[in-house]
Copies of this chain bind each other. A is one copy, B any other.
Amino acid sequence: MPRSNTEKYADMLRKQGLKVTPQRLELISLLTRLKEPMSAHEIKAKWKQGDIDTVTLYRALDALVDAGIVQRVDLQHGHTDYELLVPGEHHHHLVCTDCGTIEDFVGCPGKNMEKLALKSSSQFVSLREHSLEFFGTCKTCAV
């Protein structure tokens, strides 16, 4: 990760009152380079600087999620996946149920949908987030 990028994320951490630790920086670095949702287990396996404790990893992930730097994703794999949250650029995923291929979907009409959902609701006054994932078949698997 280039120094400028590291500094960018370090600033984001400090702004949230979080300490800048080697573990958190490597975690961000990993997520930046991989650019695909990853489970805690996968992240641990890819760890470069020695090893990271599972608990520390989960706590670091929690912290980054709270700070709005990372988001959780459920791709129906039986565990939570994590990915870097590019500010201002919110996206979802297309998942191939055969081979697991993942493609990003960036054209989500999020605000409109939330408006629609709120309008039809009798109990809710505000919506902050939504999850949206598509499941189907990719070219390669559609014989």
Contact = CB atoms under 8 A, between A and B. Distances in A.
B135 A128 contact: yes
A49 interface: no
A116 interface: yes
Interface in A84-143: 92, 94, 96-97, 101, 103, 105-107, 109, 113-114, 116-117, 120-140, 142
A72 interface: yes
A20 to B, nearest CB: 28
A76 interface: yes
A96 B109 CA distance: 21
A97 B125 CA distance: 12
Given A117-B94, A131-B74, A131-B131, A124 B106 contact: no
Given A128-B97, A132-B132, A123 B138 contact: yes
Contacts of A127: 94, 134-136
Nearest to A97: B128
24 contacts: A74-B76, A74-B131, A92-B117, A94-B123, A96-B123, A96-B124, A103-B123, A105-B117, A107-B117, A109-B113, A109-B116, A114-B134, A123-B138, A123-B140, A124-B134, A125-B136, A125-B138, A126-B137, A127-B134, A128-B135, A128-B137, A129-B134, A129-B136, A130-B132
